[in-house]
Amino acid sequence: MTYVAAAKTSEIAPGGMKAVKLNSSKILLANVGGEFHAIQAECPHLKADLCKGKLQGAIVTCPMHSAGFDVRTGAAVDPAKVLFLKMKTKDARSFAVKVEGDQILVAV
Q: List, for residues 4-37, the tens digit of each pLDDT value.
A: 999 999 999 999 999 999 988 899 999 999 999 9
Q: State which CATH number among 3.40.1130.10, 3.50.50.60, 2.102.10.10, 3.40.640.10 fits the domain covering 3-107.
A: 2.102.10.10
Tell me the pLDDT tens digit for each residue of 71-97. 999 999 999 998 888 989 999 999 999
Q: Give the mean model confidence (pLDDT) for residues 43-67.
A: 95
Residue 67 phi/psi, 5-degree rounding, is: -65, 145
pTM here is 0.94
Q: Which pLDDT score is estimated for 83?
A: 85
Q: Which pLDDT score is estimated for 1?
A: 81
| 7: enclosing H helix or E strand | strand 3-8
What's the CA angle centered on 96, arms 20 and 66, to 5 degrees?
Answer: 60
For the beta carbon of residue 84, count every other beta carbon within 10 angstroms. 5
